[in-house]
Amino acid sequence: MEDRKILLIIEDDPGLQKQLKWSFEDYQTVIAGHRQDAIIALRRFMPSVVTLDLGLPPDPTNASEGLQTLREILELAPLTKVIVVTGNDDRSNALEAVSLGAYDFYQKPIDLDVLKTIIQRAFHLDELEKENVRLQQKNKEPLNGIIASCKKMQTLSRTVEKIAPTQITTLLLGETGTGKELLAKAIHDLSDRSSKPFVAVNCAAIPESLLESELFGYEKGAFTGATKQTKGKIEYADGGTFFLDEIGDLPFSLQSKLLRFIQERKIERLGGRGEIPVDVRIICATHQNIQELITRGSFREDLFYRVSEMVINIPPLREREGDAIVIATALLRKFSELHKKTIRGFSKEAALAIETFDWPGNIRQLENKIKRAVIMSNEPLVSLEDLEITINDKPSSPFNLREVREESETAAIKRALTHCDNNISKTAQLLGVTRPTLYSLFEKYGIQI
């Protein structure tokens, strides 16, 4: 009993109370018939998900009592997922409830299969949010600052954890905005060099005429204006990690000097005569196709082999199934706290847009959109208009509601299995179903373990 998720059902009809309690036996159900009992139950059990009939006494035809109950629930427990249940002619109050911060709404007569799906998804979202909080509260995250739930990123994270303690020279490949520097920093933080400097240089951001002195430093009098001896960024990274971003933009004239440094781990300042040994871990990154650069003759093949002892391909956000909304939720919490806003989440349309948008600018674009939306929004939920993106129509997506539900449930089950390393008991717990129910879903959707 204690291990089951707690579901608070706020419903005044005794017959419906019994039906719902029997239908949701997978959960520890708590029943409340009016607002006072509901608030007492909320304080005592702290449920993650609540179903709330807006037509509570004293006047079941007036939703004001139900809306007041909703306001009190969200004031006491803002992260609670409240699913409001209304009559057929009560859509306006349902929409008002969602604008106040309700997770979703459902109209009577109740279809238990549909309501079960809504509740399961609410519990699943709650579990993801709590997991993100747990990760953020750790003194040192496995991959500091990186939020990932999809299989591709979990595999990538395990690779990073394996190579971090080594000295292998690593090349990170990925589109602009995928978080290459963040990943390089994670490798540094997990290494035995974490207490030493992490120095990053972006080859595309520094003029070619200045890049050599920026990397290698210079002696006094090496050129006009060189009034004192100055260390280069490589030398400043001594003992730590040197991250060379956008190496594809490194001028061809400098590539031979960088190659020699990587081979010898020694530098020579501009105007200098002596070699200076430097102990650094080298990580490089680019969004360009290095093989094409080599073919065009703008990138040295021998340099490529030196910097690519280990190559990590970072997938774009559009290929990270389920990650966009998880990252967006974390960013929403971060920016809401930073800008002192009380935004609880996203509207259904906004959440759908985040999940379906292609995000050509990847995580950097997502971060900018969420930051702007938090600043501009005056409502408890970020709207589609606040985000300024569109819901993409995917031709392959079915319009039949049953097909949509099956497709969504299949994706959720597969994500949960990946999250739990195919542990059936943990997967069932994460999804909020029993093991027999989960096995039935495997058979229903043809999911192989």
In the chain, % helix, strand, coil (3-state, to 5) comes to 50, 15, 35
Establish if 200 belongs to a structural domain: yes
Q: Would you state the pLDDT for residue 109?
A: 83
Please tell me the pTM assigned to this model: 0.59
Rounded to 5 degrees, what angle do the CA atoms 367, 199, 252 make? 95
Q: Which of 387, 422, 439 is the last residue of a domain?
A: 387
Establish if 379 belongs to a structural domain: yes
Task: Report pLDDT digits (tens) over 414-437.
Answer: 777 766 667 888 888 888 778 778
Angle between helices 435-445 and 401-419 (to 10 degrees): 120
The Cα–Cα gap between 225 and 227 comes to 6
Contact between 343 and 149 under an 8 Å Cβ cutoff? The reply is no
Give the chain's radius of gyration (CA, Å). Answer: 27
Task: Report pLDDT digits (tens) over 330-349.
Answer: 899 899 999 988 888 888 88
Would strands 276-277 and 266-267 be described as parallel, antiparallel, or unpaired? Answer: antiparallel
Same domain, 261 and 226: yes
Contact between 405 and 117 under an 8 Å Cβ cutoff? The reply is yes
Q: Would you state the pLDDT for residue 61?
A: 60
Q: Would you state the pLDDT for residue 442?
A: 81
**Sign (positive or negative) of CA dihedral 285, 288, 291, 294:** negative
Task: Tell me which residue range forms the domain holding 263.
Answer: 151-315
Of 314, 289, 291, 311, give the one whose Cα is nearest residue 301.
291
Same domain, 130 and 163: no
Establish if 393 belongs to a structural domain: no
Q: What is the 3-state secondary structure (H, E, C) of 143-165?
A: CCCCCCCCHHHHHHHHHHHHHCC
The Cα–Cα gap between 213 and 201 comes to 12
Classified as helix, coil or strand, 296 is helix
Q: Which of 266, 289, 315 is the last residue of a domain?
A: 315
Same domain, 109 and 198: no
Q: Would you state the pLDDT for residue 399?
A: 46
Q: Would you state the pLDDT for residue 88?
A: 66
Low-confidence ranges of the chain (pLDDT < 70): 1-3, 59-63, 88-89, 133-145, 393-407, 418-421, 448-449
Same domain, 72 and 94: yes
Q: Would you state the pLDDT for residue 437?
A: 82
Establish if 93 belongs to a structural domain: yes
Q: Which of 136, 163, 194 is the last residue of a domain?
A: 136
